[in-house]
Amino acid sequence: MATTDTATGTTPSSAPRSPLAGAVRMADYWATVYRRTWKGSVISSFVTPLLYIVAMGVFLGGFIQDDPAKLEGATSYLAFVAPGMLAAQAMTVVFGEVTYPVMSMIKWQRTFYGMIASPLNIADVVLAHLGFVLFRVGTVCAVFTLVMAPFGVFESWWGVLLSFPVQLLIGLAFAAPLYAITAAMRSESGFSLIFRLGMIPLFLFSGAFFPISNLGPVMEWLARLTPLWHGVDLTRMLVLGTVDWSTAAIHVVYLVTCAVVGYLLAVRTLEKRLID
Amino acid sequence: MTDAAEPMIRAVDLRKSFVSKQGTVEAVKGISVEVRRGESFGFLGPNGAGKSSTMRMVAAVSPITSGELRILGMDPAKDGPGIRARIGVCPQEDTLDTELNVADNLYVYGRYFGLPRADVRTRVEELLEFVQLTEKAKAKVEDLSGGMKRRLTIARSLINRPDMLLLDEPTTGLDPQARHVVWDRLFRLKQQGVTIVLTTHYMDEAEQLCDRLVVMDKGLIVAEGSPLELIRAWSTREVAELRFGVGEHEALAAKVADLAERVEVLPDRLLLYTSDGEETLAKVHERGLAPAVSLVRRSTLEDVFLRLTGRTLVD
């Protein structure tokens, strides 16, 4: 077997021209990983959110009859909670993907070291991983939206279409900073804190289940600082057709900033940790 | 492309220090080496000699602290990805993806190099055959033995038809049989003309695989040459090993000192460096000394290392 000759018809190996070009080279890796692991995530990704919506939106929501003005323009509690659940689900998927799996890549299996021994740089590998997280957020949110459509909770079809890229943006706004946090962690013991003191309070108090005006002025002000509230509010105004474009623009800028700063921080943290 | 005269590795006064809370540790303290195309080159030394730090700089994953380093004529600080595209790296610890099967591990890795899918598929088949893992193509990585994982990692490092293959402690942790299988594969690569650079703390590995090597100790190169040259320069042809009772070696060394060119006292034996071991051994017996165990052997790189540093390689 010839090992070194660059035989006829073979493209020589090369360095990628940009992080995006590098990330594209990892598409087959993530596709293979997903083919091997999707079964394990089906229930949590696709079934659990629907159980929530049935329990909270249909059965619990049946008791709630309130003025649409108090429900941010929703005509029923189900219509109010559905977009909130959608945005919260986008966040939840991210917490699963960017904690233990990242720790495994840099500490347990050390596959990250193998990846950056190839022509790929850390920025390429992080970008590819974020791309995979977006794929996971995208499939989960698409299925959720399709299942909710027959319930008649969406007022604006173009708003629903627009809410899809918004879910991807929410995913990135969480995934990139969380990637940076995981990259800095030495052991997995911090993850339980991240889930209990980070994800669960965000999930419950960022306006997904009730209007944050109910929280009282101080807590409401705090809730407005969280990325999930920006995501929930943006999603809700889109699907309910109650868009205030200037508020929407603030939401988008906030979420994009989280994503960009998070990505740069993640790459920097990993460069410090892996390249010494 | 590199012109043929350009060495594969050129390092001049290469240094590497790590700064930590405990202070600065200088792992590589100024080494100069040149590795030529088609050569098998070794860094021999004990753990902590600076071999792995050197290897990581050569692999363009660890920036140099000072000095000059060119890999395939390129500067790793400027063209790391370009260098990594053309070398193969087999790290000391396996970094295989245990969620993927054997063939997938190779396939996805080939894609990182920007190689077309069809080329990578053909290459995966060739390489699985080369490392004798064709039957295990669909097996999970975690079900492989240590030796198989090592062979898979070697196959992975060859996926891009590298101009130079870097192996950091390729057989550390393997049982003797698995080591011989790995050596056999590396020897075949060497015969095909692949430039191989390896680190090892096994003198037999260095002797088997290296055309030329440097002996490293405490971040410095203490000797350089072919295995035979090093043995000729730093040791005698033969060694008589004598084992006496525990604690007797130090005292007995004086009684045999004149029988050999040099005597080394180890905790468990005496080493008598001489051109004719049998003759020396006979003289030891003539003096009425009766070692519990005695043997005569050829000098090895282990003896070279002992001579140069006063310590053994594996401790």
To probe the interface with A, which of B108, B125, B165 has the most A CB atoms within 10 Å?
B108
What average pLDDT does this structure show over B183-194?
A: 92
B249 and B102, same structural domain? no
- Residue B310 resides in a domain: no
Residue listed under structure tokens 């030529």: B36
Number of structural domains (chain B) is 2
Which 3-state string (H, E, C) describes chain B? CCCCCCCCEEEEEEEEEEEECCEEEEEEEEEEEEECCCCEEEEECCCCCCHHHHHHHHCCCCCCCEEEEEECCECHHHHHHHHHHHEEEECCCCCCCCCCEHHHHHHHHHHHCCCCHHHHHHHHHHHHHHCCCHHHCCCEHHHCCHHHHHHHHHHHHCCCCCCEEEEECCCCCCCHHHHHHHHHHHHHHHHCCCEEEEEECCHHHHHHHCCEEEEEECCEEEEEECHHHHHHHHCCCEEEEEECCCCCHHHHHHHHHHHCCEEEEECCEEEEEECCHHHHHHHHHHCCCCCCEEEEEECCHHHHHHHHHCCCCCC
> If you average pLDDT over residues A40-57, what whole number do you get?
85
Is residue A154 one of the residues assigned to a domain? Answer: yes
Which of A88, A89, A92, A93 minimizes the C-alpha distance to A136?
A93
- B146 residue type, one letter: G
Burial A197-213 (b: 16+ CB within 10 A, else e): ebbeebbebbbbbbbbe
For residues A111 and B78, the answer to whether their CB atoms sit within 8 Å is no
Query: Is A30 inside a domain boundary?
Result: no
B195-200 and B164-168: which strand pairing? parallel
For B14-67, write each residue's pLDDT tens digit.
999 999 888 999 999 999 999 999 999 999 998 889 999 999 999 999 999 999
Higher per-residue confidence, A52 vs B91: B91
Is A80 strand, coil or helix? Answer: helix
- Chain-chain contact of B112 with A1 (C-beta, under 8 angstroms): no
Q: Are residues B137 and B283 in the same domain?
A: no
Altogether, the residues listed in chain A come to a count of 276
Residues of A in contact with B100 (CB under 8 A): 32-33, 36
Any domain includes A28: no
Give domain status of residue A3, yes or no: no
B58 found inside a domain: yes
Domain that holds residue B240: 236-298
Instruction: Identify whether A34 is part of a domain.
Output: no
User: CA-CA distance, B208 to B214, in Å (whole number)?
Assistant: 15
Using pLDDT thresholds of 50, 70 and 90, give the confidence band for residue A18.
very high
Query: Is A111 an interface residue toward B (CB < 8 Å)?
Result: yes
Q: What domain range is A215 assigned to?
A: 41-274
Any domain includes B2: no
Report yes or no on A211 lying in a domain.
yes
Look at chain A and report how many structural domains it folds into.
Answer: 1
Q: What is the pLDDT of residues B137-152, one digit of tens each?
A: 999 999 999 999 999 9
Answer for the pair A113, B91: CB distance below 8 angstroms, yes or no.
yes
ipTM attached to this prediction = 0.90
- Rounded to a whole number of angstroms, the distance from the CA of B252 to the nearest CA of chain A is 49
Q: Do the Cβ atoms of A32 and B108 come within 8 Å? A: yes
- What pLDDT was estimated at residue A6? 42
- Which residues of chain B lie closer than 8 angstroms to A117, CB-CB? 59, 61, 84, 89, 91, 95
Both tokens of B128, joined, read 């699985």
Taking CB atoms and an 8 Å limit, are A4 and B161 in contact across chains? yes
Nearest CA distance, A38 vs chain B (angstrom): 12
Q: Which amino acid is at B190?
A: K
Q: Are residues B241 and B222 in the same domain?
A: no
In the structure, what pLDDT confidence band is assigned to residue A52 with cuts at 50, 70 and 90?
confident
B208 and B250 part of one domain: no
In sequence order, the 6+-apart residues with CB closer than 8 A to the CB of A28 are B107, B108, B111, B117
Between CA B254 and CA A197 the distance in angstroms is 72
Residues B73 and B108 in one domain: yes
Give domain status of residue A207, yes or no: yes
Q: What is the CATH number of the domain that holds B283?
A: 3.30.70
Specify if A63 maps to a domain: yes
Domain-ending residue, one of B226, B249, B280: B226
